[in-house]
């Protein structure tokens, strides 16, 4: 594998494949196989977010994969935004279907016809649901494993409220939940309010969670949209208000890109030795490696078994394969296990164990008695060590020259912006692809002029290259 900094792309592909997270050799473009190491992290990510959502009053549901065309076509902006990228089922049982069906690219048009049946009174609101599924989009750009594919894993919430204020409050709670989790996982990120021309089709406001990759590029890992009554009106999701009036509900949606978060985790925490998966997401805390050499071997193995029996059940893997200790070290680091317990003749004779931690790559020799406690402490330290330093990665630019210079250094740029599409296009052309990602959440209003055209600025925005 190439060094991460010099050849990120090669490094990334190598770690995903050789670390056995996913396999890209499945043979259908843009679709990958999740191998056990990758799938275990995917399961934990799902559990984490599902439990957050349930605590916030969401109920889990599951809708069909296929959506009928009439339903899909009901919200006109939405269909326009997605029609170029949907997969269609047009044959079944050896015959053409009378009417083809859409494979869900997102599920608003599946949920809303049922919401119409389920919601009747203000007492039914708020109504907060989610489903954990894969969605399908026929990407025509180059696909990149976990970052951009034609099948991706996500959670989508669909929520109804009696008032705009309740819905906006929910959007803010989404932002708090996502920010807290991305911070906890040590993924540097920005919350940006997308420019009006760049919103989700059918949304009044779109907030994106942009992870910052080591290359300086950003990767949208989740989005929250305030949909106003744009979906509830065409789908006639009405409720009887307390005062007896019929009203359309207000709605929101949150999409959490589980595949992308896995990709961001590998990218952000890895180093030249491979991946590093934070302890709370790893299916096992680590691997126990016996170091056997000639005549002390049976003594060491006996001691290893004693050590292994003291470790928390199911949390460690005893690697007693025929590989050399060096090969075992290599694999455990490549796969990103948080810890490794190394046991050789010295440890056996001294009644100790050597703990290797993946984040700092430091070793510590501890007495056997204190091993379980030392593991707990180390894990806590590792969790606390997961830093998100997004703020320090942002560089302010006040002019065209500064924007171009900073883009040449692959920086995340913040600049005053007039809000007009031609300026965004001009920036993109001149910088080899920098996009206006939107306004930072909770950013103060700008003073002065657009850094690109010099006209009055309406907001400060983030400029970055997107994956």
Dist CA 434 CA 457 (whole Å): 19
CB of 331 to its own copies, least distance (A): 14
Cis (ω within 30 of 0) for the bond into 126?
Answer: yes
Shortest reach from residue 68's CB to its own copies, in Å: 5
Pick between residue 290 and residue 446 the one whose CB is nearest to its own copies: 290
CB of 118 to its own copies, least distance (A): 8
Residues that bind its own copies (CB under 8 A): 23, 25-28, 31-36, 39-40, 42-43, 59-68, 71, 83-94, 100-101, 103, 110, 113-114, 117-118, 123, 129, 134, 136, 138, 140, 151, 153, 321-322
Closest CB to its own copies among 61 and 310?
61
Q: Which is nearer to its own copies, 69 or 371 (CB)?
A: 69
Q: Which residue has 């040590």 as its token pair?
A: 186
CB of 318 to its own copies, least distance (A): 15
Find, among 231, 108, 242, 224, the residue nearest to 162 by Cα: 242
CB of 96 to its own copies, least distance (A): 9
Give the nearer residue to its own copies in terms of CB position, either 88 or 165.
88
Q: What is the DSSP string of 12-47?
A: HHHHHHHTTSEESTTSSTT--EE-HHHHHHHHHHHH
Q: Is 234 exposed, middle or buried (0-12, 13-18, 19+ CB in 10 A)?
A: middle
CB count within 10 Å of CB 15 equals 23
- Phi, psi angles (nearest 5°) of residue 194: -65, 150
What does the alpha-carbon distance between residue 407 and residue 425 come to, in Å, rounded to a whole number? Answer: 15
Nearest approach, Cβ of residue 427 and its own copies (Å): 28
Q: Which is nearer to its own copies, 136 or 226 (CB)?
A: 136
Of the two residues 117 and 384, which places its CB atom closer to its own copies in the complex?
A: 117
Cα angle 311, 324, 23; round to 5: 80
Instruction: Work out how close the CB of 142 gets to its own copies at its nearest, in angstroms, rounded to a whole number.
Output: 15
CA distance 34 to 39: 5
Alpha-carbon Rg for the chain, nearest whole angstrom, is 25
Residue 182: CB minimum distance to its own copies, A: 23
Alpha-carbon distance of 359 to 342, in angstroms, equals: 16
Q: Toward its own copies, which CB reaches closer, 50 or 455?
A: 50
Q: Is residue 210 within 8 Å of 200, Cβ to Cβ? A: no
User: Please, which residue, 113 or 325, has the CB nearer to its own copies?
Assistant: 113
């Amino acid at each position: 594998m190439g060094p991460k900094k010099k050849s990120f792309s090669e490094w990334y592909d190598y770690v995903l494949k050789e670390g056995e997270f996913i396999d890209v050799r499945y043979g259908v473009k843009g679709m990958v196989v999740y191998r056990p190491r990758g799938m275990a992290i995917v399961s934990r990510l799902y559990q984490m977010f599902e439990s957050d959502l349930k605590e916030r009053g969401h109920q889990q549901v599951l809708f069909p994969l296929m959506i009928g065309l009439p339903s899909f076509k009901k919200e006109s902006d939405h269909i326009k935004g997605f029609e170029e990228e949907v997969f269609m089922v047009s044959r079944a049982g050896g015959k053409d279907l009378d009417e083809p069906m859409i494979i869900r690219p997102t599920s608003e048009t599946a949920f809303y016809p049922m919401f119409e049946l389920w919601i009747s009174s203000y007492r039914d609101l708020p109504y907060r649901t989610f489903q954990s599924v894969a969605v399908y989009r026929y990407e025509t750009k180059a696909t990149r494993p976990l970052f951009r594919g034609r099948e991706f894993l996500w959670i989508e919430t669909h929520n109804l409220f009696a008032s705009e204020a309740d819905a906006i409050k929910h959007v803010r709670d989404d932002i708090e939940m996502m920010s807290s989790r991305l911070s906890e996982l040590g993924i540097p990120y920005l919350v940006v309010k997308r420019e009006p021309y760049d919103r989700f089709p059918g949304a009044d406001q779109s907030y994106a969670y942009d992870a910052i990759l080591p290359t300086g590029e950003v990767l949208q890992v989740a989005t929250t949209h305030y949909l106003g009554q744009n979906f509830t009106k065409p789908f006639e999701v009405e409720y009887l208000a307390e005062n007896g009036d019929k009203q359309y509900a207000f709605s929101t949606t949150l999409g959490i890109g589980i595949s992308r978060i896995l990709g961001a985790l590998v990218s952000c925490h890895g180093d030249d030795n491979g991946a590093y998966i934070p302890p709370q997401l790893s299916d096992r805390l680590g691997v126990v490696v016996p170091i056997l050499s000639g005549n002390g071997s049976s003594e060491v193995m006996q001691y290893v078994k004693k050590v292994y029996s003291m470790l928390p059940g199911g949390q460690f893997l005893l690697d007693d394969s025929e590989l050399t200790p060096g090969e075992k070290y290599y694999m455990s680091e490549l796969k990103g296990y948080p810890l490794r317990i190394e046991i050789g003749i010295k440890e056996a004779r001294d009644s100790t164990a050597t703990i290797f931690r993946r984040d700092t790559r430091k070793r510590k020799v501890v007495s056997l008695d204190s091993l379980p406690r030392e593991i707990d402490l180390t894990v806590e330290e590792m969790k606390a060590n997961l830093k998100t330093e997004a703020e320090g990665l942002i560089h302010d630019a006040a002019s065209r020259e500064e924007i171009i210079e900073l883009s040449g250094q692959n920086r995340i740029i913040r600049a005053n912006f007039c809000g007009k599409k031609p300026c965004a296009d001009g920036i993109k052309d001149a910088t080899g692809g920098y996009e206006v990602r939107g306004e930072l959440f909770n950013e103060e209003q700008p003073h002065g002029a657009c850094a690109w055209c010099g006209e009055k600025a309406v907001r400060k925005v983030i400029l970055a290259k997107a994956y």
